[in-house]
Amino acid sequence: MKFNSIKFKVGNLFTIILGIILILYSVFLQVSLSKYLINDLDEELSGKVNELSSIISDELAASTGDDVYTVIQRIFSFQYPPKSSIVAVKKKKTVGESLSDEEKWFVRFDRLDLSQDMVAFFEVDGKLIYPSQNILADFLKKFTPKIGESLEEDVFKDATINKKHFRQIQSMISLPNGRQLYVLIAASEKPILDLLRHRQRLFMVSIPIILLLTAFLGRFLAVRILRPVNSIVVAARQISSRDLTKRLSDKDADEEMKVLIDSFNDMIARLERSFRHIEQFSSHVAHELKTPLAILRGETEVALRTDYTTSEYKTVLKENMEEIEQIIKVVEDLLLLAKLDYKPKFIKFEKFDFKEFFNAIVDKTKLIAEEKNINVSCLLPKEDIALEGDPLHLRRLFFNIIHNAIKFTPSGKNISLKAVKEDGLLKVSIADEGVGIPPEHLPFIFDRFFQVPGRDEDPQKGTGLGLSIAQSVAKAHQGKIEAQSQLNKGSTFTVALPLA
Ligand code: ADP
Residue 89's pLDDT is what?
75
CA of 445 to the centre of ligand 1 (A): 7
**Does 177 score more than 70 pLDDT?**
yes
- Beta-carbon neighbour count of residue 134 at 10 Å? 15
Residue 337's pLDDT is what?
87
Q: Please count the helices (runs of H) and the strands (runs of E) in the chain.
A: 12, 12
Q: Is 326 in the pocket of ligand 1 (CB under 6 A)?
A: no
Rg (CA), the chain: 54
Residue with the smallest CA separation from ligand 1 atom 11 is 451
Residue of 154, 156, 186, 157 whose CA lies nearest to 173? 154
> What residues have CB less than 8 Å from 484, skipping those under 6 apart?
491, 492, 494
- Beta-carbon neighbour count of residue 72 at 10 Å? 22
Residue 351's pLDDT is what?
95
Question: What are the pLDDT digits (tens) for 19-61?
Answer: 999 999 999 999 999 999 999 999 999 988 888 888 888 878 7
- Average pLDDT rounded to a whole number, residues 382-396: 93
End-to-end alpha carbon distance in the chain = 59
C-alpha 286/C-alpha 289 separation (Å) is 5
Q: Are 467 and 404 in contact (CB under 8 A)?
A: yes
**Does 144 score more than 90 pLDDT?**
no
How many residues make up the chain in this entry? 500
Tell me the HSE value of 395 on the side-chain side, using a 13 A CA sphere: 13
Residue 150's pLDDT is what?
64
Question: What are the pLDDT digits (tens) for 430-465?
Answer: 999 999 999 999 999 999 888 888 775 554 567 889
Residue 78's pLDDT is what?
59
For residue 489, report the phi and psi dihedrals to the nearest 5 degrees.
-120, -30
Q: Are 405 and 415 in contact (CB under 8 A)?
A: yes
Q: Is 405 in the pocket of ligand 1 (CB under 6 A)?
A: yes
Q: Is 462 in the pocket of ligand 1 (CB under 6 A)?
A: yes
Quick check: helix, strand or coil at residue 482?
strand
CA of 369 to the centre of ligand 1 (A): 17
Q: Residue 45: what residue type? A: L
CA of 458 to the centre of ligand 1 (A): 11
CA of 408 to the centre of ligand 1 (A): 8
Tell me the HSE value of 320 on the side-chain side, using a 13 A CA sphere: 14
Q: Residue 438: what residue type? A: P
- Average pLDDT rounded to a whole number, residues 367-384: 94
C-alpha 428/C-alpha 491 separation (Å) is 14
Q: Are 56 and 71 in contact (CB under 8 A)?
A: yes
Q: What is the DSSP string of 9-53?
A: IIIIIHHHHHHHHHHHHHHHHHHHHHHHHHHHHHHHHHHHHHHHH
- Average pLDDT rounded to a whole number, residues 169-196: 87
CA of 493 to the centre of ligand 1 (A): 11
Q: What's the pTM value of the predicted model, to 2 decimals?
A: 0.56
- With residue 338 as reference, give the H or E element that holds it: helix 310-342
Mutate to test the pocket of ligand 1, among 467, 491, 493, 495 (most ligand atoms within 8 A of CB): 467
**Does 130 score more than 80 pLDDT?**
yes
Residue 459's pLDDT is what?
47
Bridge partners (DSSP) of residue 173 are 181
pLDDT band at 81 (very low <50, low <70, confident <90, very high): low
Q: Is 452 in the pocket of ligand 1 (CB under 6 A)?
A: yes
Residue 43's pLDDT is what?
93
- With residue 164 as reference, give the H or E element that holds it: strand 164-174
Residue with the smallest CA separation from ligand 1 atom 20 is 404
**Does 179 score more than 90 pLDDT?**
no
C-alpha 457/C-alpha 427 separation (Å) is 33
- Average pLDDT rounded to a whole number, residues 280-290: 84
> What residues have CB less than 8 Å from 422, skipping those under 6 apart?
none
Residue of 366, 461, 451 whose CA lies nearest to 415? 366
Residue 403's pLDDT is what?
95
Which is the closest atom of ligand 1 to the Cα of 465?
A: 6
Bridge partners (DSSP) of residue 119 are 185
Q: What angle do CA 462, 468, 473 make, to 5 degrees?
A: 125
Bridge partners (DSSP) of residue 386 are 353
C-alpha 332/C-alpha 327 separation (Å) is 9
Q: Are 250 and 258 in contact (CB under 8 A)?
A: yes
Residue 206's pLDDT is what?
95
When the pLDDT of each residue in the chain is averaged and rounded to a whole number, the result is 86
Which is the closest atom of ligand 1 to the Cα of 463?
A: 2
CA of 245 to the centre of ligand 1 (A): 33
- Average pLDDT rounded to a whole number, residues 221-226: 82
Mutate to test the pocket of ligand 1, among 451, 455, 465 (most ligand atoms within 8 A of CB): 451
- Beta-carbon neighbour count of residue 329 at 10 Å? 15
Pairing of strands 350-353, 128-131: unpaired
**Does 88 score more than 80 pLDDT?**
no
pLDDT band at 230 (very low <50, low <70, confident <90, very high): confident
Bridge partners (DSSP) of residue 445 are none
Q: Are 123 and 132 in contact (CB under 8 A)?
A: no
Question: What are the pLDDT digits (tens) for 114-127?
Answer: 778 888 888 887 78
Q: Which residue has the higher pLDDT, 34 or 176?
A: 34
Residue 24's pLDDT is what?
96
